Chain A
Amino acid sequence: DAMVIQNPRYQVTQFGKPVTLSCSQTLNHNVMYWYQQKSSQAPKLLFHYYDKDFNNEADTPDNFQSRRPNTSFCFLDIRSPGLGDAAMYLCATSRDPAGANVLTFGAGSRLTVL
């Protein structure tokens, strides 16, 4: 059974039209991450939540926002998608941010911007 579930798997939007991607987890992990991955590149961390504490990466554009209403769910909002935001968006969880805790990824949401 999938433990980190992302919806939708595929999202097509128009330039500038807001998009929300969702992630849910059944692992009861404290940390939830959002990564952006473009073709043939490493996943790039956008931000993460450690419980309710939000941690934004310094180079994450303001266009990207996140919400974590409870332990199980986390959302990625892209306020005004540009062509350069087309990518796979990966949600991941871990028990805590430090030590040898591994990441468990969802299957990803692939965003196309027209």
Chain B
Amino acid sequence: RKEVEQDPGPFNVPEGATVAFNCTYSNSASQSFFWYRQDCRKEPKLLMSVYSSGNEDGRFTAQLNRASQYISLLIRDSKLSDSATYLCVVRAGNMLTFGGGTRLMVKP
């Protein structure tokens, strides 16, 4: 089993749709959680950190479920510009582990 797992997708959604991705992690000692966005042939960029109580940034909501060891990202009112790969990143101590990413394609 991979340490950090994501559904690779692609998730094909129409503009305006709500879409959610999950990311499961195997290390129960994981302490910090992040979502990064990576556009095609570009570098990953931090989208948001994930806090224990959940957090929201505009159309994006991140949640953490420690009991079931997963984090989620919800995107409301999808825009064409949201099309990208979303990488889940989990830190345990000094170890950072990336998920394989979930590809989102928002269609007109």
A92 to chain B, nearest CB (A): 8
Chain B: number of interface residues, binned into ranges: 20 to 34
Interface size class of A (residues with CB under 8 A): 10 to 19
Q: By the criterion CB–CB under 8 Å, are A42 and B43 in contact?
A: no
Q: Is A19 an interface residue (CB 8 A)?
A: no
B99 CB contacts on chain A under 8 angstroms = 42
| Nearest A residue (CB) for B6 | A42
Q: How far is the CB of B95 from chain A (nearest CB, A)?
A: 9
Q: Does B62 contact A (CB under 8 A)?
A: no
Distance between Cα atoms of A101 and B96 in the complex (Å):
11
Q: Which of A41, A98, A100, A105 contacts B43 (CB 8 A)?
A: A105
Q: With A41-B100, A42-B99, A42-B101 as known contacts, state yes or no: A98 contacts B46, CB within 8 Å.
A: no
Interface check A99, CB cutoff 8 A: yes
> Is the C-beta of A81 less than 8 angstroms from some C-beta in chain B?
no
Is B34 a contact of A42 with CB atoms below 8 Å? no
**Chain B nearest CB, measured from A37 CB (Å):** 9
Known: A99-B31, A99-B32, A100-B32. A45 touches B44 (CB 8 A): no
In the assembled complex, which residues on chain B have CB atoms less than 8 Å from the CB atom of A102? 34, 46, 49
With a CB–CB cut-off of 8 A, which chain A residues contact B45? 105
B8 is an interface residue with CB less than 8 A from chain A: yes
Tell me if A113 counts as interface (CB < 8 A to partner B): no
Minimum Cβ distance to chain B for residue A40 (Å): 7
Binding site for A on B (CB under 8 A): 8, 31-32, 34, 36, 41-46, 49, 87, 89, 91, 93-94, 96, 98-101
